[in-house]
Amino acid sequence: MTSVVFRNVKVWDANRSEPEESEVLVESGIVKEVSDQPIRSESVREVDGRGGVLMPGLIDCHLHVTLSEIDLRKLAFIPLTMMTALAARNMQETLMRGFTTVRDCAGADRGLAMAVEAGLFQGPRIFQTGRALTQTGGHGDFRAPYENHDHSVNTNAIAPQSVIADGITEVRRAARNELRKGADFIKVMVSGGVASPTDPIDNAQYSIEELSAIVEEAAAWNTYVAAHAYTSHAATNAVRSGIRTIEHGNLIDRETADLMAKNGAYLVPTLPAYDIMDKLGEELGLPQVSIEKLQIVKDAGIRAVEHCRAAGTRIGFGTDLLGDLREHQSCGFALQAQAQTPQEVLTSATLVNAEILNQSGKIGVVSPGAIADLIVVDGDPLADLGILEHQGRYIPAIMKDGEFAKCELE
């Protein structure tokens, strides 16, 4: 593995209030040195950053690499093999936007993560949950009212997304099975959703007893539970059960935000999903029932981030874009900046997301000993978050694990 030194760059991570002129040495996939003095090293490849900002690779803590359709019902007509091929393209495009790590919140499995690790697919590092747990009639139950089959036995692209489990015994078994298969964490649906056709947004799903059992199983494997939740009622049930991250959370109030802060829970907002679906969803085939539910939550996400910021709740960054909407992934930074400062947004997408993944000090920072997941930005993203958009046009260098996925600098 070639040693690399970045020169003529300004380094930023969440431990710095602003970019600082430094040089960075990478050896064996690890950041070896960060110095404000010239770095001397034998047999090193020198990369001139042209005055750009070198920062940690971006982290998206809520996406679905296998959800290739905005209308989830169409997944029933996509074979698993085609799903995997589409996921490979999605992962490569995600990496080219500067996201070197992602947390897949249902659909991806250990096999996809292994394929990236082995270099068979080019893409970001994947932390995955396997299948999300859903109750009968819950957000992950994709059956129409007249269908009675268990979709988890299917061999199409719906099958990897969720598993239906009811009652304490079933949820324990389902959680144990996903952990057995290599899930990095457990995802559970605790409220209705936009993309699901039959459950109302304000529907609270799973009892506290069931949720507590799921948390107990995850803790036994030294990991945590993430909860899809929109309302304060659903999020409160989740947090009181010991669930660690609230995904979406658009309709939570300040009292719930205070409870999250008190219990050390994180909010992972997914603001781009609502903004872009509202603009393009109907054109791209979003079902009418989902368009109607979207109106309930689309303008509330910013307020939820504001509540959590005021309460001192740790705030991550996610996107949750489906199908062709994924190209708008990087628009999430400017959207979240309506409730946070640019520094806070980028901290959410690096250091805080690394905390969520239990990878503090390993990713999300530019410091000695960290994994060399680095991007060079042609400009200052703290001054203009918009330069992170445009499908990576203004990101001339992307390094993951010390290897360049893209380098237009020398």
Q: Where in 244-402 does DSSP place strands (E)?
A: 245-251, 266-268, 314-315, 374-377, 397-400
Burial degree of 157 (CB within 10 A; 0-12, 13-18, 19+): buried
Looking at the chain, how many residues does it have? 410
3-state secondary structure of 49: coil
- pLDDT, tens digit (0-9, with 9 covering 90-100), for 120-144: 999 999 999 999 999 999 999 888 7
C-alpha torsion angle, residues 387, 379, 405, 408 (rounded to 10): 120
Q: How far apart are CA 219 and CA 213, in angstroms?
A: 10
Q: Which two tokens stand for residue 9?
A: 């760059």
Tokens of 367: 């410091």
Question: Which single residue is written with the structure tokens 């964490």?
Answer: 185
- CB neighbours of 185 closer than 8 A, spacing ≥ 6? 103, 127, 129, 218, 223, 224, 225, 226
Q: How far is CA 217 from the centre of its chain?
A: 22
**What pLDDT shows up at residue 146?**
73
Sign of CA dihedral 289, 290, 296, 298: negative
pLDDT digits (tens, 9 = 90+) for 98-117: 999 999 999 999 999 999 99
Nearest to 105 by CA among 261, 299, 300, 318: 318
CA distances (Å), 327 to each of 83, 176, 275, 323, in order? 18, 35, 13, 9
Give 199-246 as a DSSP string: S-TT-B-S-HHHHHHHHHHHHHTT--EEEEEEEHHHHHHHHHTT--EE
Under-70 pLDDT residues of the chain: 149-154
User: Both tokens of residue 377?
Assistant: 């930005």
Nearest 5°: the CA angle 227, 55, 111 is 45
Rounded Cα distance between 248 and 273, Å, is: 10
Q: Which residues pair with 189 in a beta bridge?
A: 228
Express each pLDDT in 224-274 by its tens digit.
999 999 999 999 999 999 999 999 999 999 999 999 999 999 999 999 999
pLDDT of residue 309: 98
Q: Which one, of 122, 140, 125, 129, lies nearest residue 199 by Cα?
A: 140
Q: How far apart are the first and last CA of the chain?
A: 17
Q: How far, in Å, CA of 249 to CA of 266, rounded?
A: 10
